[in-house]
Structure 1
């Protein structure tokens, strides 16, 4: 007597079959096909907000508990609530708040992971990249490209906190991470401060210089004063209904993203402006550098103020409302998705 596909006998036979093939490290595609090839992205990442005013004291407390030398990098990781224990804020990106106290040095090292720094609090610190220092000022966007030597120090008299953004989860997925330490805690200066910005960031490059779009930028600091001036200069025009006034940071020598795995953006929203809904496949980390407002991420309302960090998961609709003039910095894995032909955006 034939059994129907969903009869108890048929189901028992299937389970027995699955157990047999499981012993050979095989599993049936038809049981997981919908999860593997969904009709639209189903990110496990959830919208989340870190209010700097609430977490600042915890960041400073770390400075009382562990030295920069002992920790190597004194950082509190911002873990997405849905991905606790995985050291990531989205599936492909890492974020953390790093603290360096007066007189401290975070020793030199290099790694395959690309990193950005966004200065949030304090003054007097520096970052050195391949023998050139840059003074860290609030709002500055600083890059340590993959496999470049870098160290940090604080020559001032107050704590300095910045946001770290790296592609650690992406390289972990690819099993492509390398790191190396140096015997010198502090790099020997090879060039004066500002050399890279003058040499590569003034609409000129050395006459014999050639760079491919896949290589990271030689300009490793994008000063906040320049970013703000550029945005406010164009803000007298008509804002894009979905974006306000939004610009992307580029490698000035190529026009490509400053890092091949991480894209970075700056956005000006005039007081009272509200964007129309937009969604894209690149999960995005946002930081409020000026102003305050609300982000409607899917059905969740995130009320942000200066120095707050929030995350917009892949393919979640985003609407922004600025209570006053607001400047947002953001970063995502958009360059990776674009080079692979995967990035998609929908303006609603």
Structure 2
């Protein structure tokens, strides 16, 4: 090889018309040029289409009650108003990976038994005395309870009241519907009976697995927690004790995550859940994370500043924080308790979860 030989000149860049002609010729072969979309496919940081949003329960509740006159729980299968992200119309999604909706069951009604691959949580927002039955065990619902319906588990709901009082009951549904839709892996099946035959006494799962002890011989092998009702009275007591014993985290206040007692991991394989207390006067620092998160206000009134937007929230309201959106929480006038859920377990399993705690010295 002659070291003095000149290298061939690089071809001159094609003009715009030549590129358009090339793209038109490859399109019938189902080909597309990566270089035209690379920066959108692999962005420098998350670029979610979702936007922050707040749903005020006082505005939604009359519409929920109105729906009870339009369709029964049995006819609807599940009478729910979906909380749809304003930037994702028609998607039935509150984030790209999570579905959320407010479900109503009236006194005497039954939402019939079925099962589906999608995992579901119920967070009780308003009213008490309804029940859900999962895999042959029934649990009574009270405000603030976090209840799980595992993937492919038979479940039905009813409202028989408690203590002689029967009232409408509303809960927040959270499901991994968008994730299953992405994988084209959704299945569902209706039960032959409207309600399940109860085979275990109420509280059996909590008694067996809910006291930092596990039966020596047990056959629970599901990726979902063996506890399917995490009562609010116990979770709230834990937060109150922390509030007395230690200073709040500067970003999160007093925040605890629910766990699967068998693994120490998330109670659900696809959805992580937390409960946090912001003490009166709390003015949190800004933080962000890649898991877009749904919040339900259990107690108190406060402020969420999300991606530069200010939302004043109150009891039973719901708000969403999109992926990587800066979030700052404050509770200027009273203690605030927030329940939240996200796709955090999936991101952790994939090794892609990223968090940033800003305003650090």
Q: TM-score over 0.5 for the alignment?
A: yes
SS in 2 for 1:225: helix
Distance change in 2, residues 1:334/1:36 (3 Å): same
User: 1:231 matched to which residue of 2?
Assistant: 239
| Larger CA deviation: 232-241 vs 327-336 | 232-241
SS in 2 for 1:320: strand
**Cα distance between partner residues in 2 of 1:153 and 1:328:** 26
Alignment pair present for 1:335 and 2:340: no
User: Equivalent of 1:217, from 212, 225, 240?
Assistant: 225
Q: Deviations over 1:11-61 (max 9, x none)?
A: 111001001111101100000000000010001010000000111111111
**Cα distance between partner residues in 2 of 1:186 and 1:210:** 25
User: Equivalent of 2:309, from 300, 309, 314?
Assistant: 300
How do 1:145-160 and structure 2 match up within 5 A? 145-156=150-161, 157-160=166-169
How do 1:16-55 and structure 2 match up within 5 A? 16-55=21-60
User: 1:282 matched to which residue of 2?
Assistant: 291
Aligned length: 343
SS in 2 for 1:165: strand
SS in 2 for 1:54: helix
The normalised TM-score by structure 2 is 0.93
Q: Which runs of 4+ in 1 moved over 3 A?
A: 2-6
Q: Which has the larger radius of gyration?
A: 2
**Cα distance between partner residues in 1 of 2:11 and 2:231:** 72
User: 2:121 matched to which residue of 1?
Assistant: 116
Alignment pair present for 1:104 and 2:109: yes
Gaps of 5+ in 1: none
The CA RMSD measured in Å over matched residues stands at 1.3
User: Equivalent of 1:95, from 65, 87, 100?
Assistant: 100
* Structure 1 residue 253: Cα displacement: 1.6
Alignment pair present for 1:191 and 2:200: yes
* Structure 1 residue 302: Cα displacement: 1.0
* Structure 1 residue 5: Cα displacement: 3.8
Gaps of 5+ in 2: 1-9
**Cα distance between partner residues in 2 of 1:12 and 1:211:** 64
**Cα distance between partner residues in 1 of 2:200 and 2:220:** 20
**Cα distance between partner residues in 2 of 1:5 and 1:145:** 56
**Cα distance between partner residues in 1 of 2:248 and 2:191:** 48
Q: Deviations over 1:54-106 (max 9, x none)?
A: 11111111101001111000000000000010000000000000000111000
Q: Deviations over 1:177-204 (max 9, x none)?
A: 1111111111001000000000111112
Q: Deviations over 1:131-159 (max 9, x none)?
A: 11100001100000111110000002211
